[in-house]
Amino acid sequence: MNDSARREQILEAADRLLRHYGPQKTTVADVAREAGVGVGTVYLEFPSKEAIVEELSRSRYEVVLASMREAVKADGRSYGERLVGALDARLRAYFTQANGGAHACDLFHCGSPAVKSASERFYQEEHALLVDLLRQGTEAGELDVAAPELAARVILRAYKSFTPPWIFMEARDEVEKLSAAMHAIVLGGVLGRR
């Protein structure tokens, strides 16, 4: 087995365990056993359990970011529709990934420094995506945003309650209804005045 296949085998095993037991109760020995390799082999690929958790958390966030990017590049839609589409895609991606087990959400939100690191990296990329969208929408005359970097920060702060773990504390349809109401408020603040 080559290094790439072995690394993937370890990540898949860790993913199964983390979804079921969470980061706190999963050990490197558990991962090794689940992957069918020795503990030393796991350490050849990853310096620590936290490194495994961070890589898996980043991969979850990458799915969310890819969904948002796809919504943003939807040609033929206004910039306001693209903004709403990106935020809706983000919410759907979170909900989809939450269906992966009792602890699937732990890779988005828990006390682990590895998850916090992955989350911070995601936030930076998400922020850059929104800044670019707001800037383009303003240049096209569809949006009216004087400071896209600040506006993106404010929008992300406003939508913080539409991220894990908060979105899992209410029924999904209620979260979607509240998100739609938030869209109306946010769009009212960024749409170009005609």
Q: Is the pLDDT of residue 193 over 70?
A: no
Q: Is the pLDDT of residue 104 over 90?
A: no
Q: What average pLDDT does the structure give for the chain? A: 91
**One-letter amino acid of 49:** K
Domains in the chain: ranges and CATH: 1-47 (1.10.10.60), 54-190 (1.10.357.10)
Give the model confidence (pLDDT) of 23-78 as tens digits: 889 999 999 999 999 999 999 999 999 999 999 999 999 999 999 999 999 778 99
Q: Residues 167-173: what's their mean pLDDT?
A: 89
Q: Is the pLDDT of residue 123 over 90?
A: yes
Shortest CA distance to 107 belongs to which of 45, 15, 193? 15
Cis peptide before 165, with omega less than 30 degrees from 0? yes
What are 191's strand-pairing partners?
Answer: 143
What's the distance, CA 143 to chain centroid? 25
Q: Tell me, what's the pLDDT at 194?
A: 47
Coil vs helix vs strand at 166: helix
Q: Is the pLDDT of residue 12 over 50?
A: yes
Q: Residues 94-113: what's their mean pLDDT?
A: 83
Q: Is the pLDDT of residue 101 over 90?
A: no
Q: Could you tell me the pLDDT band of residue 132, with boundaries at 50, 70 and 90?
A: very high
